[in-house]
Chains A and B, each alone.
Chain A
Amino acid sequence: QVQLQESGPGLVKPSQTLSLTCTVSGGSINSGGYYWSWIRQHPGKGLEWIGDIYYRGRTHYNPSLRSRISISVDTSKNQFSLKLSSVTAADTAVYYCARGFFYMIIDEGAYYFDYWGRGTLVTVSS
């Protein structure tokens, strides 16, 4: 059973960089075909995709956050990480890591998140 666990500071000061790590257990982050993803949820709001890193290192970022995001992977530790720079109070949210899978078979194509971390609340405040 794959498990994901977010870790990192729960409080970040405005203008600083938010850094989170997701540790994957029960499976290798090098396994083919997966998109290792970050998603956030502002208090009382819906889910917002931040970005992902494909197992071969290719990244995709939410256009609205692209200038402030960096996602990387450390295969030796079976972890992937998020850095979000120049944070403001608007970045206060629960941050989730998740495993995404994308397939296309004949006429059926789909993308889905099959495993999620529990989420970690990050508050931006001085």
Chain B
Amino acid sequence: SSELTQDPTVSVALGQTVRITCRGDSLRTYYASWIQQKPGQAPVLVIYGKNNRPSGIPDRFSGSSSGNTASLTITGAQAEDEGDYYCNSRNSSGNHVLFGGGTKLTVL
């Protein structure tokens, strides 16, 4: 399959830890990247590669991977972390780009 699958919605209590997952065959070949999008704003990269954060991304964001599943973990979720999160990868052949369907994170 050349798809990435995410749970549509996830919620977390303020200050708690939440994991957002992404599944797909391409993740056996390439690490996923994770993109955050807040309403009305452009997407922002939060995690890429094995577990790398771009400059300016808080260290409460981390990434991990096992087999065909990638995970984004937010340790100590904050209200400003609410938004949509997309996983992203190149397909196994390297000639297409894949996006997961997105996970809407609600911080309670």
Contacts and interface: CB of A to CB of B under 8 A. Distances in A.
Contact of A46 (B49, B50, B54, B86): B86
A56 interface: no
Chain A contact residues: helix, strand, loop or mixed: strand
A90 interface: no
Contacts of A112: 33, 45, 48-49, 88
A116 B49 CA distance: 18
Given A46-B101, A47-B86, A111-B33, A116 B43 contact: yes
B97 A116 contact: no
Interface residues of A, number: 26
A119 B43 CA distance: 9
Interface of A: 37, 39, 46-49, 52, 60, 62-63, 96, 98, 100, 102-103, 108-114, 116-119
Given A47-B86, A52-B97, A111-B88, 11 more contacts: A46-B100, A46-B102, A63-B96, A96-B42, A108-B49, A109-B30, A109-B31, A110-B49, A113-B35, A113-B88, A117-B42
